[in-house]
A and B are shown apart, each in its own frame.
Chain A
Amino acid sequence: MHPISGAVAPYVFMVLKVVLVFTIVMVVVAYATLAERRVSAWIQDRNGPNRVGPFGLLQPAADGIKNLLKEETLPATASRIFFVLAPILILVPSLVTFAVIPFAAPLPTRWGVVDMIVADVPIGILYVLAFSSLAVYGIVLGGWASNNKYAFLGALRASAQMVSYEVALGLSLISVLMLSGNVTLTDVVWQQQQLGMWFAFPLSLAFILFLVSAFAESNRLPFDVPEAESELVTGYHTEYSAMKFSAFMISEFGHMATASALMATLFLGGWDLPGTWDNAYWYQGQLISGFAADGSVLLAHPAWWKSLVTFIGFGAKTGFFLLLYIWVRWTLPRFRYDQVMALGWKVMLPTALGYAMLMGGTILTLDQIGLRWGFGYGLALTAVSGAATLGFVFFIDRGKTITGAAAQMAQRVEVKTIPTPEAESTV
């Protein structure tokens, strides 16, 4: 499809990209575990692990060695095959999703321009949704095969929660797909470059809904009812030890990293940085940076430093969402199970549906008016979305009195005296 000279070069680049992306994801996951511990410590005015290596940077290696050397336990009543299968089933989907996310501007080489994406599959987001849905099988299987009531309860909750929030997640994506006109993530990035603004602004409510759903999808606080340390030990992976436990941990952080990268791509422009200097897209066999006013194409000029800078930009956006994950986890308490379900089905789903309708109508109207696809188009959408977001916030926040905790407690506590049966009989 792309003009890359040399018959072998594409395959070599493919293998190199797979190795590169896999390595980077695993390193990011390892350091996300360290970041989680360090940031949680900072939030609690502690220092966190800072002994292994400079600033504790070798802590993930120490953790890995520890998990490798620990004993693998197999509960006597567990179903052996599925017990071993579950960590694999949960680990693979969380890592393969990264394949369709573009992570930098195309890189020029001697053998042609290389796209900085492992597999630019035409089904893009559908692939992501399919594999993120597969993760629930690993959780349910792990909980079921453990033959432990806590693990089983965790698995049940996980299945209910992940299926519920999958709906809101998918529906909040619809407006992104409508705006980008395609499901491949390279197209999503390209349309954000063309629009002159990132989709977080023209699709602000979808962004919020997607953010909340992504938290629920990766089973992080405040939606960690499947793990719920204080209720279910650790939920679905209660019975796992050593490297199998590690696989669950890696998959949780891998899921976080994937969701962060996905949010960065869908709503913060992916590897796009402000300005048109880095725009690049394959259009009819040419790498273009945009269209001139008369409809002719403007050729892009890929450069290695553009790839590097955009890669750093993409990493920064992903890192921001990873930090947000950790930050939210150490701020909010866990939702009650019925609150999770109520939020998913009674708030998120209707809002996502209504918003998809609203955005569809707006895009149709703007197209009918004949507004040119560009910054003005984006501003119009931003205005409509901003109004919808404000309305949503006002709706769920209307007339709610959040006063100081002490004042509320004084109003809420009422001391009742209840006569016991023997007191009644003596009277």
Chain B
Amino acid sequence: MTISVKVMKRPAPERTSYLRATLSGMALTFRHMVNPNKITQQYPEEQTQLSPRWRGTHVMETHADGRPKCVACGLCPTVCPANCIRLVGGEDDQGNRYPIVYEIDEFRCIFCGMCQEVCPVEAIHVGRHFENGEYTRSRFVYDLDRLMDQDQPSTLLWDPSDPRGE
């Protein structure tokens, strides 16, 4: 077996001059220095346009009377690959199932969106929102009330018949 070696034939020191290269480099950096078009995004003031399929902080959809749409079927904690959803279901007098405890640990969540895909009643959604910083770790566990209070638009799921979202 043989090894291919790239031999860089650099010009000998007495054949090189950095003068012209230096001057053209200075001209280039000067042009960039005075160029008013900077690529920096001034983040808190300038917001990025999020994609309609952006998967961020969860949203729990509610009925008109304020009850969560969730029927505590247990599909989302089952499908969740990060195991971040805790669900304790209950049943009321009319036999309607509802969540007694519904908690999502946004720290463990990998924002895959499978909870939204699997939900049979379109109750849990991932939303178009990402600024969910907190001062303590415990605040990252969102309970049912907090999930229902989220007001960001929910994510459009990927549609195989319209792969580019048009």
Determine whether A169 belongs to the interface, using a CB cutoff of 8 Å to chain B: no
Query: Does the CB pair A330–B29 fall under 8 Å?
Result: yes
* Chain A minimum-CB-distance residue to B25: A331
B116–chain A nearest beta-carbon distance, Å: 37
Query: Does the CB pair A412–B1 fall under 8 Å?
Result: no
* Chain B minimum-CB-distance residue to A416: B5
Query: Does the CB pair A418–B17 fall under 8 Å?
Result: no
Complex CA gap A330/B26 in Å reads 9
Query: Does the CB pair A417–B6 fall under 8 Å?
Result: no
Query: Does the CB pair A413–B38 fall under 8 Å?
Result: no
Query: Does the CB pair B8–A413 fall under 8 Å?
Result: yes
Complex CA gap A170/B33 in Å reads 34
Complex CA gap A411/B4 in Å reads 18
Task: Choose from A327, A342, A393, A414 the contact partner of B7 (Cβ within 8 Å).
Answer: A414
Interface residues on A, range: 20 to 34
Task: Choose from B4, B17, B28, B32 the contact partner of A42 (Cβ within 8 Å).
Answer: B32
Complex CA gap A39/B35 in Å reads 12
- Given contacts A413-B7, A423-B2, A42 and B33 within 8 Å (CB-CB): yes
Interface residues of B, count at CB 8 A: 32
Q: Chain B 28-48, CB within 8 Å of chain A: the 1/0 string?
A: 111011110111101000000
Interface of A is mostly: mixed
Chain B residues with Cβ below 8 Å from A407 are none
Interface of B is mostly: mixed
* Chain B minimum-CB-distance residue to A412: B9
Determine whether B10 belongs to the interface, using a CB cutoff of 8 Å to chain A: yes
B12–chain A nearest beta-carbon distance, Å: 11
Chain B residues with Cβ below 8 Å from A41 are 38, 40
Determine whether A420 belongs to the interface, using a CB cutoff of 8 Å to chain B: yes
Complex CA gap A332/B19 in Å reads 11
Query: Does the CB pair B38–A45 fall under 8 Å?
Result: yes
Determine whether B22 belongs to the interface, using a CB cutoff of 8 Å to chain A: yes
Chain B residues with Cβ below 8 Å from A415 are 4-7
Complex CA gap A416/B2 in Å reads 10
The stretch among A107-115, A182-190, A295-303, A396-404 that forms the contact with chain B is A396-404
Query: Does the CB pair B35–A45 fall under 8 Å?
Result: yes
* Chain A minimum-CB-distance residue to B42: A47
Determine whether B94 belongs to the interface, using a CB cutoff of 8 Å to chain A: no
B43–chain A nearest beta-carbon distance, Å: 11
Query: Does the CB pair A46–B39 fall under 8 Å?
Result: yes
Query: Does the CB pair B9–A46 fall under 8 Å?
Result: no
Query: Does the CB pair A327–B26 fall under 8 Å?
Result: yes
A342–chain B nearest beta-carbon distance, Å: 7
Chain A residues with Cβ below 8 Å from B1 are 420, 422-423
- Given contacts A393-B19, A396-B19, A397-B19, A45 and B32 within 8 Å (CB-CB): yes
B47–chain A nearest beta-carbon distance, Å: 17
Query: Does the CB pair B13–A45 fall under 8 Å?
Result: no
Query: Does the CB pair A396–B38 fall under 8 Å?
Result: no
- Given contacts A400-B16, A402-B17, A416 and B26 within 8 Å (CB-CB): no
Name the 3 nearest CB pairs between A and B, nearest first. A400-B17, A47-B40, A412-B9
Chain A residues proximal to chain B, CB less than 8 Å:
39, 41-47, 327-328, 330-332, 339, 342, 393, 396-397, 399-400, 402, 411-420, 422-423
Chain B residues proximal to chain A, CB less than 8 Å:
1-10, 13, 15-17, 19-22, 25-26, 28-30, 32-35, 37-40, 42
| Contacts A42-B33, A45-B39 known; 6 new A-B pairs at CB < 8 A | A41-B40, A43-B33, A402-B20, A402-B21, A414-B6, A414-B9
CB-defined A-B contacts under 8 Å, sample of 24:
A39-B33, A41-B40, A42-B38, A44-B32, A45-B37, A45-B39, A327-B29, A328-B26, A331-B22, A331-B29, A332-B22, A342-B13, A396-B19, A399-B15, A400-B17, A400-B20, A402-B17, A412-B9, A412-B10, A413-B6, A413-B7, A415-B4, A417-B2, A417-B5
